Amino acid sequence: MAKKRVPESDEGKLKKKIAAKLTNQGKAGGDAALRSLKKRLKREQRKRRALALRKKQAAGSKGAAATSA
């Protein structure tokens, strides 16, 4: 049986793509493809933060106690 790979998050993939583009093109940040990658990364980060906030809110006082501990 083959080893099972741990799937990489979309956020991680986007960070790697952005880093690769930045090293390839230098410091010029006007590239449309790079800009769209950054927008996708920000969208993923917003989704992750919103989900964490919803879970914390749904947990009620248990969630507040769990996060402070």
Asked if residue 63 is part of any domain, the answer here is: yes
**12 vs 52: CA distance, rounded Å:** 17
Q: Is 1 helix (H, G, I), strand (E, B) or coil?
A: coil
State yes or no: pLDDT of 21 exceeds 70.
yes
**20 vs 23: CA distance, rounded Å:** 5
Span 32-66, pLDDT tens digits: 999 999 999 999 999 999 999 999 999 988 766 66
Asked if residue 29 is part of any domain, the answer here is: no
Q: Domain of 45?
A: 38-69
Whole-model pTM: value is 0.69
Asked if residue 60 is part of any domain, the answer here is: yes
